[in-house]
């Protein structure tokens, strides 16, 4: 096998896994080519805006797709429009943000230029796989009780390419070696809705799944 097919983040993940060490090390990751055109790697963190103390443990790990334009510039996950919507929905579902660690399946922003704009480009299976060692390092360090995949990219990374959110969203999935997993929509699916009706439907679906997340956690 050539080394090209093996290229991934594993050689860049420190053996001794603490949050500060991981955070530092990921800035030197060359596990795929996405670092070349991004400002910085965006690692996961406990939801900002909460008054989390160091003693607080995250019970839920929410996994998005990849940083967007704002996240790439600011260095924090879900701080742009999708993040604002996520926060609003978490509040509505009464999910305690101090217990939620938010991250992404892919840690660098993939984009294409369009004029002066940087347009989001979906990460491919290659990047999702290459970046998985960072997600594993987060899982090992955070040790959440429940994983929540937001959208198809996160679901692909954790549940495999055959998993369909439209069919199995909101249902508890069991994967060996991982905490229980629930997949639901990505909040940007709500932002992209083409009509009011569409928006209403996807919002309801999302909030309903977040309710289930809350119930699973209370069990
Ligand atoms: N969308 C994501 O999937 N992740 C972010 O951090 C921001 C937008
Ligand atoms: Fe490394 Fe992931 Fe960034 Fe690729 S996207 S360079 S694997 S951190």
- Residues 6 or more apart whose CB falls under 8 angstroms from that of 217 comprise 59, 60, 145, 146
Ligand 1: nearest atom to the Cα of 42: 6
State how far the Cα of 98 lies from the Cα of 50, in Å rounded to an integer: 5
Closest ligand to C-alpha of residue 65 is: 1
Return the structure tokens found at 133.
């060692």
pLDDT at 98: 82
Ligand 2 contact, 109 CB (< 6 A)? no
Ligand 2 contact, 35 CB (< 6 A)? yes
State how far the Cα of 101 lies from the Cα of 116, in Å rounded to an integer: 33
Closest ligand to C-alpha of residue 134 is: 2
Q: What is the pLDDT of residues 29-83, one digit of tens each?
A: 999 999 999 999 999 999 765 555 554 579 999 999 999 999 999 999 999 999 9
- pTM for the structure as a whole: 0.94
Q: Decide: 128 and 163 in contact? Cβ < 8 Å.
A: no
Ligand 2 centre to CA of 12 (Å) is 10
pLDDT at 47: 72
Residues lining ligand 1, Cβ inside 6 A = 64-68, 71, 77-78, 80, 82-83, 104, 188
The predicted model gives 133-162 an average pLDDT of: 97
Q: What is the pLDDT of residues 91-147, one digit of tens each?
A: 999 998 788 999 999 999 999 999 999 999 999 999 999 999 999 999 999 999 999
Closest ligand to C-alpha of residue 76 is: 1
- Residues 6 or more apart whose CB falls under 8 angstroms from that of 98 comprise 46, 47, 50, 51, 52, 56
Is the pLDDT at 1 greater than 70? The verdict is no
Is the pLDDT at 170 greater than 70? The verdict is yes
Ligand 1 centre to CA of 65 (Å) is 6
pLDDT at 50: 57
């Amino acid at each position: 096998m050539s080394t090209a097919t093996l290229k991934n983040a594993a050689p860049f993940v420190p053996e001794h896994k603490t949050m500060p060490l991981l955070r530092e090390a990921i800035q030197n990751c060359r596990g795929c080519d996405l670092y070349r055109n991004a400002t910085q790697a965006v690692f996961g963190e406990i939801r900002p805006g909460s008054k989390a103390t160091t003693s607080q443990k995250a019970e839920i790990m929410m996994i998005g797709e990849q940083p967007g334009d704002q996240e790439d510039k600011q260095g924090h996950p879900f701080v742009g429009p999708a993040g604002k919507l996520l926060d609003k929905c978490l509040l509505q579902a009464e999910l305690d943000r101090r217990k939620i660690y938010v991250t992404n399946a892919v840690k660098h922003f993939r984009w294409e230029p369009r004029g002066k704009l940087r347009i989001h480009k979906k990460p491919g299976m290659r990047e999702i796989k290459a970046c998985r060692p960072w997600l594993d390092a987060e899982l090992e360090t955070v040790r959440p009780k429940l994983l929540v995949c937001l959208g198809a990219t996160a679901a692909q990374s954790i549940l495999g390419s055959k998993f369909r959110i439209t069919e199995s969203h909101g249902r508890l999935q069991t994967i060996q070696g991982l905490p229980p997993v629930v997949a639901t929509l990505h909040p940007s699916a709500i932002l992209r809705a083409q009509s009011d009706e569409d928006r209403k439907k996807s919002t309801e679906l999302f909030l309903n799944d977040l309710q289930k997340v809350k119930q699973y956690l209370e069990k």
